[in-house]
Amino acid sequence: MTDTLIARTADALQSAFGRAPDLWVQAPGRVNLIGEHTDYNDGFVLPCAIDYRTVIAVTARSDRQVRVVAADYGHAVDTFDLDGPIAPHPTLQWANYVRGTVKMLAEHLAPLGLSLRGADLAIAGNVPQGAGLSSSASLEVAVGQAFKALLGLGDRDGVSQTDLALIAQRAENRFVGVNCGIMDQLISARAEAGHALLIDCRSLSGQPVHLPESVAVMVVHSRVRRGLVGSEYNTRRTQCEAAARHYGVPALRDVDLARLERDRGGLDEVVYRRARHIVTENARTVDAAAALAAGDLVQLGELMAASHVSMRDDFEITHPAIDRLVDIAQQAVGHEGGARMTGGGFGGCIVVVLPDERVADVRAAIEGPHPSPDGGPPTVWISHPGAGAGQNW
């Protein structure tokens, strides 16, 4: 699939600008195996990169102009100048992810005595859009990687892969206007092939966790539109902050289960249940990383099942159609592996970790007699953990 993207970007660059690429870069999408709503509580998450990605063909310019062609949007072209103010595009939403990343990268480089140079970019991707697999983070990180490669920048220059992720997050927060956490950009920038990454969302440290080569990651889109996720997300975040204030800590990361129970007096019951999900989910995520590292798919499956129950009953972010999909997947997987909802909630996707040999049976169980609410079968993607952003892959 990546070869196809490389060819498409080369063709787009030639068609739009009459130029051949100097280099290519890529950045993947991601799925979170376990650790839901823990990121903004300074907790732990366990995502992996998927082998669906954004590819950019890059060629240098001798001036300060940036020209971008989007192969996935009818070869639409955006042009802006690095010496002028970089403002949101009036009509092209995809262009704002590019412009925002370039603006934030330029601001990051200025105190280091570095500056960007003009470039022509051609972009194509196969990360499913609107599925909660971080197509936007993939695009942002790929744009940052394009200029990092073009300028030959690295850790010694003050542009590490973690810096790249933070720049991409700032672009989404401050320019695009989406108040996302750091997980999506960080795993896209720093993933290792064949591994998930246990991320400490407070320190931004990451511990690679090996997935056996015989294990697949299945992502299933329920086709349930996540219509309430924005307002409900904000409500959950407010409830978690209220719980942290009750316990007198900076974030629920700092509360263990014993203290949660011991000092709950006077805490609203709903807020208590929200806090219980976060506290137990943090523990589950750390335990899941250990189980995965040991190749213990039985334990991993039990932790994923417990995570889903907690999201359903304590955090109340699942949906009946999602619950049914998870039940079907868990029964089809059996004891080795597991399934749970992944993402913000109220629809979207489930993630299934399972042996390769079980993929066909689980896919058949999911796609067979159980249509989605709109009458069609759920959409299924199969992946193995891919590498993070880079120039060579």
pLDDT per residue as tens, the chain (393 positions): 578 999 999 999 999 999 999 999 999 999 999 999 999 999 999 999 998 999 999 999 999 999 999 999 999 999 999 999 999 999 999 999 999 999 999 999 999 999 999 999 999 999 887 777 778 999 999 999 999 999 999 999 999 999 999 999 999 989 998 877 889 999 999 999 999 999 999 999 999 999 998 999 999 988 876 554 456 878 998 999 999 999 999 999 999 999 999 999 999 999 999 999 999 999 999 999 999 999 999 999 999 999 999 999 999 999 998 999 999 999 999 999 999 999 888 888 999 999 999 999 999 999 886 556 666 788 899 999 999 999 965
Q: In this structure, are residues 26 and 11 in contact, taking their beta carbons and an 8 Å threshold?
A: no
The C-alpha R_g of the chain, in whole angstroms, comes to: 21
Would you name the residues annotated as active-site residues? Answer: 184
Q: What is the pTM of this model?
A: 0.91
- Nearest-10 Cα torsion for 222, 223, 229, 230: 150
Cα–Cα dist 58/22, whole Å? 6
What per-residue confidence (pLDDT) applies to 186? Answer: 96
Cα–Cα dist 25/40, whole Å? 30
